[in-house]
């Protein structure tokens, strides 16, 4: 997948557990885990906004686009 989720990196930087983040953003552990592992097919802007508020970060800190062939356009 070309979109990489760096949620685990931001969680580590903020020293926050999956359980704590789940409570702060009012998202189930299983749904948050799906997002964290990059298995999510979509994410709502409202969810992304809640995560960014909880982690005090920008969406670009969590989501990253990588060219699949590692070559720039």
Confidence of residue 1 (pLDDT cuts 50, 70, 90): low
- What does the chain come to in residues? 73
Whether residue 72 has pLDDT greater than 60: no
Instruction: Tell me, yes or no, whether 45 lies in a domain.
Output: yes
Instruction: Tell me, yes or no, whether 32 lies in a domain.
Output: yes
Residue 33's domain spans which residues?
A: 3-65
Of 30, 25, 26, whose CA–CA distance to 56 is shortest?
A: 25
For the stretch 5-51, pLDDT in tens is 999 999 999 999 999 999 999 999 999 999 999 999 999 999 999 99
Confidence of residue 61 (pLDDT cuts 50, 70, 90): very high
Q: What is the mean pLDDT of residues 50-56?
A: 97
Instruction: Tell me, yes or no, whether 39 lies in a domain.
Output: yes
Instruction: Tell me, yes or no, whether 73 lies in a domain.
Output: no
Q: Give the pLDDT confidence score for residue 67 in this predicted structure.
A: 82
Using CA atoms, how far residue 65 sits from 2, 7, 20, 71, in Å, is 6, 14, 27, 12
């Amino acid at each position: 997948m070309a979109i990489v989720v760096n949620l685990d990196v931001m969680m580590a930087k903020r020293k926050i557990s999956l359980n704590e983040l789940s409570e702060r953003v009012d998202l189930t552990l299983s749904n948050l885990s799906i997002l964290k592992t990059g298995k999510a097919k979509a994410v709502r802007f409202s969810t992304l906004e809640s995560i960014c508020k909880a982690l005090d970060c920008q969406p670009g800190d969590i989501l990253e686009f990588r060219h699949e062939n590692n070559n720039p356009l």
